[in-house]
């Protein structure tokens, strides 16, 4: 097939993108299935450049995973451990002073954000989570606390006594210092996939209810899509359309909205799905590009280098992505190349800016809400 013939196959979609017309489910699928990967990359890049020019964002942050005990048993997850009251095994829960000490250390190394998530712990009270935010807020008043996926928020409504609504949980956390919600726990919004890979987890209705309530309260949130396990490409495209519909509603009538989509590349190692190969590099690039093209109302598309790898995240900066996330430092949910129990996974700000510049982009350090961070050495 000649280059012109291949491009001809996507010419109607190309015209839609040029005139900023919304893409349909079948457009999304055709982009995925097309052999013309260069046109897909160019289209995603054109939208990315229309929105952000040459800018590529990164942030200086620190992930803190407060516990790996979890009442769920999601098949894709290698992080959770069944709860053991006596400790033992390799389950853990961090005391609040340890979490606070990590936030202080992060601040001292320049972090503007802590990203805090964990398993659904069966016995920690709701006050543990408000105290966690309050304690960080007290010692690091300028640190943005991005914490707790929608799944954790639902868990908090269930463990609070008397039981609280989502709005009450979010309001109490915000009063204690919470700044925004990360996008985790969305996986794939589809009943078949839900039943096959994360059956006991709350489903799409609850995930959206948490984000809807947050947006009504003026709390910005992120969104994710976990791809490359048991779902089909059509199910991914429909997941993106559900996020797009929600964003339309938030933009029209709520005080906050989604900041970004983070397509998460499934890492099979150590999970109950480790017989699966996980997505290839090309599938990663296609998914990032299709996300950029389908989500015409999302400001940002983020490649999380921990999962897509730093090398591919760099390439994706010319395939629709405008943000390669952060310095991270420690990450427990998926393990890095070194294997074992080593959770140190870090890129320095210098590493991130080098990757970005090499890709022909202009690095801009951002805070959680995508405002440029001005430091003495970059003022």
Contact residues: ligand V47, CB under 6 A: 76-78, 149, 182-185, 187, 222, 224, 226, 262, 264, 266-267, 271, 304, 307, 325, 333-334
- What angle do helix axes 150-159 and 204-217 make, rounded to 10 degrees? 90
Task: Rank residues 10 and 273 by Cβ distance to ligand V47 and give the closer one.
Answer: 273
The minimum distance between CB 224 and ligand V47, in angstroms, equals 5
The minimum distance between CB 1 and ligand V47, in angstroms, equals 34
Task: Rank residues 41 and 263 by Cβ distance to ligand V47 and give the closer one.
Answer: 263
Task: Rank residues 256 and 262 by Cβ distance to ligand V47 and give the closer one.
Answer: 262
> Cα separations (Å) of 70 from 80, 115, 122, 186, 307?
6, 18, 7, 17, 21
Task: Rank residues 29 and 276 by Cβ distance to ligand V47 and give the closer one.
Answer: 276
Judge contact between 197 and 249, C-beta under 8 A: no
Judge contact between 365 and 59, C-beta under 8 A: yes
Residue 95 to residue 118: CA distance in whole angstroms: 13
> Cα separations (Å) of 345 from 30, 144, 338?
36, 21, 9
The minimum distance between CB 31 and ligand V47, in angstroms, equals 23
The minimum distance between CB 76 and ligand V47, in angstroms, equals 5
Residue 148 to residue 146: CA distance in whole angstroms: 7
Task: Rank residues 13 and 306 by Cβ distance to ligand V47 and give the closer one.
Answer: 306
Residue in this structure with the two tokens 């017989």, named with its chain if needed:
275
Residue 93 to residue 53: CA distance in whole angstroms: 43
Task: Rank residues 112 and 224 by Cβ distance to ligand V47 and give the closer one.
Answer: 224
The minimum distance between CB 185 and ligand V47, in angstroms, equals 4
Judge contact between 136 and 148, C-beta under 8 A: no
The minimum distance between CB 308 and ligand V47, in angstroms, equals 10
In the bound state, the residue with its beta carbon closest to ligand V47 is 184
């Amino acid at each position: 097939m000649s280059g012109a013939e291949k491009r001809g196959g996507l010419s109607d979609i190309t015209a839609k993108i040029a005139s900023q017309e919304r893409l349909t489910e079948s457009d999304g699928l055709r982009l995925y299935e097309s052999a013309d990967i260069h046109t897909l990359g160019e289209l995603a890049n054109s939208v990315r450049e229309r929105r952000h020019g040459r800018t590529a964002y990164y942030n200086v942050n620190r992930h803190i995973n407060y516990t790996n005990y979890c009442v769920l048993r999601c098949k894709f997850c290698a992080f959770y451990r069944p709860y053991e009251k006596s400790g033992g095994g390799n389950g853990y829960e961090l005391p609040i002073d340890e979490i606070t000490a990590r936030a202080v250390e992060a601040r001292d190394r320049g972090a503007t954000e802590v990203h805090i998530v964990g398993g659904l712990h069966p016995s920690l009270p709701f006050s543990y989570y408000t105290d966690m935010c309050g304690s960080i807020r007290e010692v690091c008043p300028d640190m943005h606390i991005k914490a707790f996926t929608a799944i954790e928020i639902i868990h908090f409504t269930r463990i609070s006594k008397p039981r609280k609504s989502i709005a009450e949980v979010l309001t109490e956390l915000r009063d204690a210092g919470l700044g925004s919600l990360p996008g985790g726990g969305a996986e794939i919004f589809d009943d078949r996939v839900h039943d096959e890979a994360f059956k006991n987890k709350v489903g799409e209705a609850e995930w959206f209810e948490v984000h809807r309530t947050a947006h009504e309260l003026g709390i910005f949130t992120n969104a994710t899509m976990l791809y490359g396990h048991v779902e089909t490409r059509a199910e991914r495209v429909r997941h993106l359309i559900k996020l797009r519909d929600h964003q339309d509603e938030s933009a029209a009538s709520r005080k906050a909205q989604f900041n970004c989509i983070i397509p998460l590349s499934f890492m099979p190692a150590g999970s109950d799905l480790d017989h699966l190969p996980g997505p290839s590099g090309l599938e990663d690039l296609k998914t990032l590009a299709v996300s950029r093209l389908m989500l015409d109302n999302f400001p940002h598309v983020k490649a999380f280098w921990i999962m897509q790898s730093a090398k591919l995240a760099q390439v994706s900066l010319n395939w629709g992505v405008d943000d390669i996330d952060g310095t991270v430092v420690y990450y427990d949910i998926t393990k890095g190349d070194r294997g074992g129990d080593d959770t140190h996974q870090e890129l320095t700000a210098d590493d991130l800016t080098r990757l970005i510049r090499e890709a022909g982009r202009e690095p801009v350090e951002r805070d959680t809400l995508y405002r440029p961070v001005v430091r003495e050495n970059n003022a």
